[in-house]
Structure 1
């Protein structure tokens, strides 16, 4: 059986994505691969680069589609991308994908499967530390903020994945120095320039995070402490409607279970713990979440509990 491959999927209509891809192609020795769905591919070790036209948010099952055409099993997917934000602040970000807060039957506005989230890449935490390093080496720290983003948007995919992005406006998307820095994160994270296999991330404990804002300051603090991260659900992804029953309505329970189950799928040999950004919730919300986690035997930890 062929060795599983890591698939880097490039969005041809996204200059932040294509600049990262160009930098990857320039910095490593790649061989041309076969056309897949009519699009060019390259290969280096057990990594494949697939340069598609257009965007990817609504292109579901890209891992299965690659496997169907090439007979290569995809183990994980990396999406170089741009980041769009109304704030316009320059930023470099990493995040998992998914839309677990939407009800079944709803159509998420930016792709994905409602009420579910694909497995998050176990590489996010270590790559964030590498991103901070590369931002300094490329003299970007005075120009760009560096952060996680919480779980959001599509596409749907069945294997662990992450987005690595340049934001937040057209002026920044085309920044070639930023693209070079993110390419170096990918190169070092996948060991593309050195002998040996792609590093595997195996941790005794993995943490999925609940609450806080979109740019995930608490997950960043956990990452800085060497904790491997799974999904990160901001408050807006935990829809809780207070009522007289004592158990809030809304889609928060399905979102938590989806985040837990997919984080477990991405890290089958690890204990999966929850972390709660307590200050971002009201008392009745904290109580409901803690009771729900206990009911489903999902451990809830403070930072000291999560350190290995």
Structure 2
């Protein structure tokens, strides 16, 4: 990976000799939280190591551009910065096709960890305000980059691991509200680890390589070439998505939303309620939107559910035409699609 540097760039004082004028195009937006050291550190390394141009302030906040990528600094409370895609378009007339959120990750475990995850609160009761942003019963499209970037993160980790840290996907959770694909890329899990610059630089390298900064910004991820390929939605398990962690390391695997047990809330066997079904339906619809033409399939973590809960899930998925697959069967589907090519 090369030597990681510890620059002292003041982001708000960052200057380039060129200035980018606004024009209509299709862009990737990196949304930086100025109140989050893990977010600003990732941004710092992206700005230091690549030739960005200063962009006109957007909503009076600093912005930068390189190729078809835009970086926008926001003041605070990123989980409640709703509709960034539309707000950027309103201000610049550029269409945002996806949003990347460099961020910190907080966990009770306190273990240092680098994570990726989609966002949304599809399980939250309609009409109630979610405590960490988002809209109840809704999940923005999961960014198709989650699978490829998970493998890229592991590749870079094998080249130059950071002592004490580990890697993990996380399940779908929290805000903000968006209409375009999104992912969070995070340094965790407690305040002593958030400023870690080695971690920030590694994640910045994943962003830069994943968005093809050195390859002409040919950074389209899912396209018409992938139509018919299987896309995995996981149901059940813990917050750190053990099944997706494992399957996502296999070549050519696409990962959609990942719903933990707590995002599939059941009542009693006599009155199971609707939240579990609401959550599944929102996650599947959102994943299909992110992967147009993809074949959405579900992997159910059997041990996470009681027998009657599993049967309700299976029956519902069958009623809407979504196949339930075991891990090996899913990987055979992936392999079969590639062999047809």
Q: Provide TM-score, normalisation by structure 2.
A: 0.87
Partner of residue 12, structure 1: 34
1:234 is aligned to: 260
Distance 1:18 1:304 in 2: 40
Q: Distance in 1 between matches of 2:217 and 2:279?
A: 38
| Structure 1: 4+ residue segments shifted above 4 A | none
1:272 to 296, 303, 321: 296
Moved more, 128-137 or 256-265: 128-137
Question: In the TM superposition, what whole-angstrom CA distance separates every residue of 1:191-233 from its partner, at most 9, and x where no partner exists?
Answer: 0122351142344111111000000110011101232100000
Matched residue SS, 2:324: coil
Match for 1:205 among 214, 224, 230?
A: 230
Partner of 2:12: none
Q: Secondary structure at the match of 1:170?
A: coil
Q: Radius of gyration: which is bigger?
A: 2
- What secondary structure does 2:115 align onto? strand
SS across alignment from 2:311: helix
Q: Is the 8 A contact 1:118 1:158 kept in 2?
A: yes
SS of 1:121's equivalent in the other structure is coil
1:177 aligns with one of 175, 192, 198:
198
Give the deviation of 1:282 after TM superposition. 1.4
Match of 1:221 among 246, 255, 259: 246
Query: Which shows bigger deviation, 122-131 or 194-203?
Result: 194-203
Cα distance in 2 for partners of 1:275, 1:235 equals 13
SS of alignment partner, residue 316 of structure 2: helix
- The residue that corresponds to 1:112 in the other structure is 134
Contact 1:77 1:161 in 2 (8 A): yes
Query: What is the CA distance between 1:249 and its match in structure 2?
Result: 1.6
Matches of 2:248 and 2:239, distance apart in 1: 16
Name the residue aligned to 1:102.
Answer: 124
Instruction: Report how many residues are paired.
Output: 305
Query: Is the CA contact 2:34–2:74 (under 8 Å) kept in the aligned structure 1?
Result: yes
Q: Retained in 1: the 8 A contact 2:114–2:188?
A: yes
Specify which of 120, 124, 131 is matched with residue 146 of structure 2.
124
> What is the deviation of 1:56?
0.9
Structure 2: state its 5+ residue gaps: 1-22, 335-341
Query: For 2:321 and 2:145, how far apart are their aligned partners in 1?
Result: 26
Backbone CA RMSD of aligned residues? 1.3
Counterpart residue number, 2:286: 262
Pairs within 5 Å for 1:1-308: 2-140=24-162, 142-202=163-223, 203=226, 204-226=229-251, 227-244=253-270, 248-307=272-331, 308=334
1:139 is displaced (CA, Å) by: 2.8
Give the Å deviation of 1:299.
Answer: 1.4
TM-score (norm 1): 0.96
Contact 2:126 2:136 in 1 (8 A): yes
Which string of whole-angstrom CA distances, capped at 9 and with x for unpartnered residues, describes residues 223-274 of structure 1?
01232100000000100112336xx224000000000000000001211111
Equivalents in 2 of 1:30, 1:134: separation in Å? 23
Aligned 8 A contact 2:211 2:217 in 1: no
Q: Please report how far the alpha carbon of residue 281 of structure 1 lies from its aligned counterpart in structure 2 after TM superposition.
A: 1.3
SS of the equivalent of 1:172 reads coil
Alpha-carbon distance in structure 1 between the residues aligned to 2:87 and 2:166: 35
Distance 1:253 1:196 in 2: 39
Structure 1 residue 131: Cα displacement = 1.0
Q: Secondary structure at the match of 1:79?
A: strand
